[in-house]
Amino acid sequence: MDDKPGDDLMLDVPFANEDRNFDGLGLSEGEVPLYSYAWHPRLVLLPTWQLDFKARLVKRLVDLGLALSALIVFALPALLLMLAIRLESAGPALYRQQRIGKFGRQFTALKFRSMVCDPNDRGMIRQATCHDPRVTRIGRWMRRYSVDELPQLINVLRNEMSIVGPRPHAPGTKAGGQLFEDVAQCYGTRHFVKPGLTGLAQVRGWRGETDTEEKLLHRIDCDFEYIAHWSVGLDLAIIWRTARSVWRMTNAY
């Protein structure tokens, strides 16, 4: 810990470290320090306890109701879209990729395939970039309006994701040439909750390629803010803002 006059308190708190000791910091039991990284670090308190049973039940019921309703509504369009994907380029209609979920556990996230299949990319983590030549014509349309994410409603039903939460990242993803966990201390804290189809960072415009550390830090700020202030009302507000803003997004590709 580096304590200098005029500086904010900076702590390095590894994810899932059971030996953390915050004696002398004036923190209540069950609270750990987090950071706001956007421009100046500051101390933020976040309860380490999980949502109580009632809150978890309400959030889960909202997830199930919305996911089932959306799957029923989009069932026929999804089948037609899968056919169009197969007709445009060789390969499966669904794309499967390992993502990091709650408590750091990995799960298989589902998406409509929006890129051509390249056997040389097997096992490699390559973020999509603007005008990426791997993206198909229908894939560009799907990514523009986030239609490729719809299969993750199945992940919601599997209880691997939530409708709202921090977006799940692939293991080994980098920003500015640095692994996400090396860019931001306490990065793993965003895994205290299930990842989501949409989140606070997305409705604030922080989506698309994470090619710089600054973009990642802004997203992490939003993730921490969401975790610290979660409520059903906040989830519903994010869902509403997502529905309104998805058609105006210009940085998804």
In a domain, 9, yes or no: no
Please say if the pLDDT value at position 34 is more than 70.
no
CB 190 within 8 A of CB 102: no
In a domain, 2, yes or no: no
The pLDDT value recorded for residue 183 is 86
What's the mean pLDDT in 196-220? 88
The pLDDT value recorded for residue 127 is 66
49 vs 213, more confident:
213
- Concatenated DSSP letters of 2-22: ---TTPPP-----TT-TT---
In a domain, 3, yes or no: no
Average pLDDT of the chain? 79
Which of 189, 196, 220, 202 lies closest to 103, judged by CA? 189
In a domain, 15, yes or no: no
The pLDDT value recorded for residue 164 is 97
Could you read off the pLDDT of 170-199 as tens digits, one per residue? 999 888 888 988 888 778 888 889 999 999
Please say if the pLDDT value at position 104 is more than 60.
yes
Residue range of the domain that includes 227? 31-248
Could you read off the pLDDT of 115-134 as tens digits, one per residue? 998 766 665 666 666 667 88
Which of 95, 246, 234 lies closest to 165, judged by CA? 234
The pLDDT value recorded for residue 9 is 36
H helix intervals, 102-212: 137-144, 152-157, 180-183, 200-203
Per the listing, tokens 């006059």 go with 5
**pTM score over 0.85:** no
Number of folded domains that form the chain: 1
Q: How far apart are CA 70 and CA 198, in angstroms?
A: 14
